Amino acid sequence: MEVNITINGSEHASDVEPRTLLVDHIRRTVGLTGTHVGCDTTSCGACTVLMDGTPVKACTVLAAQADGSEVTTVEGLKGADGLHPIQSAFTDDHGLQCGFCTPGMMLVGASLIAENPDPSDDEVRWAISGNLCRCTGYINIVKAIQTAAARVAESSNGS
């Protein structure tokens, strides 16, 4: 069946089998491999993408269900003026070790700070509670998301 999904601002029209999962569509058909497949059982959140701005587990959404929607993957975070604040904060605060969970963590973090400009430790931990880091690097992940929030708040105050 024909699906038309806007991924990171570009329209992708493709003919997919109904059983194609959104994550496989993104990785194999569109060729964006930043979205990872971890557990493949709706537990780990490595496959997180934003669907119309809302974080979802792309291993548990059919590509057909995303027809007509706007999807943001980790590749879409970077803007014209460089890395997204969440990306530079993960770099600066060592928010990643092996990096496997990082795309999902950053997308959930970006979605959180878009709604909550000053999240507490508990709020960040609650927001990322559907994402697993098997390196257990949560302390710096939480720190990085808060750093990003503070930088976004600072730059919007300054402008």
Partner 1 sequence: MFPSRFDLVVAQTVAEAVEAKVDAGEGGRFLAGGQSLIPMMKMRVAFPETLIDINRIGGLDAIERANGHLRVGALVRHADVVASDATFGAVASAAPWVADPLVRNRGTMCGSVAHCDPEGDWNSVLFATGADVIAQGPGGERSISIADFVDGAFTSTLGEEELVVGLRIPVPSGRSGGAYLKLERKIGDYATVAVASHLELDDSGAISAAGLALTSVNPINTKVGDAEALMVGQQPSEELFAEAAELAAAAAEPRDDVRGTAAWKRQVVRTYTKRGLAAAAQQAEGS
Residues at the interface with partner 1 (CB under 8 A): 1, 17-21, 24, 40-43, 45, 48, 54-57, 59-62, 64-65, 108, 126-127, 129-131
Q: Least distance to partner 1 from the beta carbon of 24, Å?
A: 7
Nearer to partner 1, 91 or 129 (CB): 129
Rounded CA gap, 61 and 116, in Å? Answer: 26
The pairing of strands 2-7 and 70-72 is parallel
Whole-number minimum distance, CB 96 to partner 1, in Å?
19
- Cβ(12)–Cβ(19) under 8 Å? no
Residue 83: how many CB atoms within 10 A of its CB? 13
Query: Residue 28 or 94: which CB sits closer to partner 1?
Result: 28
Closest CB to partner 1 among residues 43, 88: 43
Element (H, E) at 141: helix 138-158
Residue with tokens 């994402």: 131
